[in-house]
Structure 1
Amino acid sequence: MKKLILSIAVISAVGITSCRKDKQVTNDFSDLGTMTAFFEAYAPKAESFTLDASVGGTITTSKGTKIKFPANVFLDANNNVVSGNIKVHVKDILKPSDMILGDKPTMDAKGGFLRSFGELIVKADKNGAELGIKKDSAQVVVPLGIREAQGQGNKIPIWDGDTTISTTSTGYNHVNAPSSVTSSIKVPKGVNWIDMGTTATSNPAGTESTFMLDALGQWRNCDALLNNGGTRVTVLGYFTVNYNEQTNSNYTGKEPTMLFFKQKNQNTLIKLYNVIVNAPAGKEGLLSYQQSFTVGMEGTFLAISSKNGKFYAHMKDVTIPAPNGTDNYVGIDFIPQEVSEAALIGLINQMNSK
């Protein structure tokens, strides 16, 4: 991918190791040929640090995110303060290419576009036992920010990405009568970001944002909701060729056909999840949340598929047109062509500069 190995700055009490590596095109997927295998291989990896919990310290990821841990803030399962060496694991996502590969699009529960100032998850353990942390004890500084201008202020909302949703299954019970069961499942992929009511603060130069870490093991997203004014419209993405019919409306992972959108000059990444049902040939594909795009919006779509052991892709710069007549939608055609693994990584990286 686009990452470079950067030096990691730490204070004296901190030692580090890292389980991440450059995303280089070295894997051979000729026998796998699936989108899942591709994403698992190239998804952003967590970085691991060794820290003396009794002393605390500051860790800095290769992307520049800094987290300052005071002394004696880590807790075991019984809420007792932990001492001695522990492992801290950080995965931070700052660019659209990581959002694609890490399956962390930036939109809220209603499909609203979020401008990202950093997504991250922090975990810690001692001898393999998971640890907690005192609420709001650690300070996070992300190397992205927003200038205070025209009275808008420099506060950025914090969003929770670990969401519980309800799902209902229907069938027949033990006496062959129709029955249904409703259960709750976790959606940890950041597809349903919820505003927590807390904020990060950017510095005056707009180069970094600071917030307090309230918990471990949960995704946190420092994002501003974009106010895209104008006529609202639904976008339908038609894969005129190389659509994989096994694609489902999957909100928690990868599918063999996927469609992403990046708004021009914004650090945002939208994933179109919903499958167009009962579509005729040439109109199969994916659609956005209802009325979530605006007419005149500029940006770039990346349509990708895996089919019969091969990858297909089409990158397309667009200006969202007005719908025809009384239509409440616009259709955009994609013609994914066969690409190599290296070319697909290259297209994903290009989304960073769109």
Structure 2
Amino acid sequence: MKASLLSAAILATAIVSVTACKKDKSTPNYAKADDFMASHAIKEQSFSGNAAAGFTITGKDGTKVTFSPNAFVDGNGNVVSGNVTVTLKEVLSKKDVLFSGVMTESNGQLLESGGEILVKAQKDGADLRINPALQNDGARVEIPKAMNKKDMGLFVQDKRQQGGATGGNQPQQSPYTWNPAPYYPFGNGPNSYSFSLPSFTWVNCDRFYSDPNPKTTITALPAFQDNNQVTDLQVMLVFKNITTVITLPYDFTVQKFQSYQNSLPIGLQADLIIIGKDSDGYIQFGTQPITISANMHIDAPIHKATQAEVDAFLATI
């Protein structure tokens, strides 16, 4: 009887040990691409106010927009009264830029950003415009200097110039870019940037990045570690010492992800990021630090990544 009890105890201990080993070797918590991107997307904040009286909204990151009385007109140019709905998106960090889809470049030239916002307004589901009769007083904006402390100017999202600033054979690119809006007064205060909102579109507190070093073009390709089909690939550069994030569009001519021609200063440091979605819906992710050199090419490893791995990297940028 004692031997049987001892055997049973040994068997029970073995079962517990095997179970513990199985738990230790559990499947990693790989990140589902769609869920991950949705969780990091720039959130749209919603407000309401009386159009005839005017009102002020304040975003969660400190952006303040003050609408004057009668600041809104409808599609026919009629002044709007009653309650209106205003939405706001704030992009006030390099991580925000990464997930906003609105990168800091102007027709192939690097920009340093002090923050981006998107403001829109509707009444009864119809889009509104800023009252042109109020000129520069319809909507006044203050953006906190959380992302940058340097003096900036106002840029607006606009249709990309024909052929881009560098012309010639350019990679596939977004149809939109940033263009300066020097015709709008812009204030560089000690703690915030202030300006009048030109329209309900993306606006950016920006400056052209100036670097005396020679400029070059770089290319990149993913080096897959998993035997899996990957789609929705994006290649981006998050620069180390400037508030600049750009994408490397895919150039079908060279069949590589490629920067705009002669746009990157040699010696500038950045993190190269590649992100995509595999056929099982998981994130494929890779990153490596680089120092821009003449005509460099990067084969960047990319693999199925866990949520913790990607979040740990994002905490460093």
Same fold (TM over 0.5): yes
- Which residue does 1:201 correspond to in 2? 187
1:343 aligned residue (290, 309, 313)? 309
Give the Cα separation in 2 of the matches to 1:82 and 1:39: 37
Judging by fraction of residues, say which structure has more helix.
2
Alignment match of 1:289 (pick from 245, 254, 260): 260
User: Does residue 1:157 correspond to 2:177, yes or no?
Assistant: no
Gaps of 5+ in 2: 1-28, 164-172
Amino acid across the alignment from 2:102: K
Decide which moves more: 58-67 or 260-269: 260-269
Question: Structure 1 residue 303 and structure 2 residue 289: aligned?
Answer: no
8 Å CA contact retained: 1:190, 1:219 = no
Q: Residue by residue, what CA displacement relative to the aligned partner does 1:72-124 show, whole Å, maximum 9, x if unpaired?
A: 11112222221221111111211121112121110011x11111112111111
- Match in the other structure for 2:211: 228
Alignment partner of 1:192 is 2:177: yes
Per the alignment, do residues 334 and 243 of structure 1 end up closer, same or farther by CA in structure 2, a change over 3 Å counting? farther
Which residue number corresponds to residue 238 of structure 2? 262
Matched residue, 2:247: 271
Mapped partners of 1:166, 1:233: distance in 2: 22
In structure 2, distance between residues paired with 1:77 and 1:164: 25
**Residue 198 (structure 2) aligns with:** 214
Q: Distance in 1 between matches of 2:89 and 2:263?
A: 29
- SS of equivalent residue, structure 2 residue 316: helix
Instruction: Point out where structure 1 has 5 or more consecutive residues left out of the alignment.
Output: 1-27, 149-153, 168-186, 248-254, 280-284, 324-328
Contact 1:244 1:257 in 2 (8 A): no
- Correspondence for 2:288 among 309, 316, 321: 316
Alignment of 1:144 with 2:140, yes or no, is no
Shift of 1:258: 1.3
3-state DSSP of counterpart to 1:265? coil
Distance in 2 between the 1:68 and 1:48 partners?
15
1:102 aligned partner, one-letter code: S
Contact 1:114–1:226 (Cα < 8 Å) also in 2: yes
1:140/1:245 CA distance change after superposition, 3 Å: farther
Q: TM-score, normalised on structure 2?
A: 0.76
> Take 2:252 and 2:112, find their aligned partners in 1: how far apart are those partners?
27
- Residue 87 of structure 1: which of 68, 85, 88 is its match? 85
Q: How many residues align?
A: 273
Contact 1:262 1:300 survives alignment (8 Å): yes
| Cα distance, 1:275 vs structure 2 | 3.6
Give 1:243 shift. 9.4
Q: CA deviation at 1:306?
A: 2.0
Match of 1:90, as an amino acid?
A: L
Distance 1:191 1:303, change over 3 A: farther
1:244 and 1:140 mapped to 2: Cα distance? 50
**Counterpart for residue 252 of structure 1:** none
Counterpart-to-counterpart distance in 2, 1:190 and 1:245:
31
Pair 1:245–1:132, CA change in 2 (3 A): farther
Residues 1:337 and 1:144: Cα distance change in structure 2 (over 3 Å): same
Aligned amino acid, residue 202 of structure 1: N
Report if aligned partners of 1:29, 1:38 keep a CA contact under 8 Å in 2.
no
Q: Which one has the largest radius of gyration?
A: 2
114 and 239 in structure 1: CA distance in 2 versus 1, 3 angstrom threshold: same
Q: Which residue of 2 aligns with 1:100?
A: 98
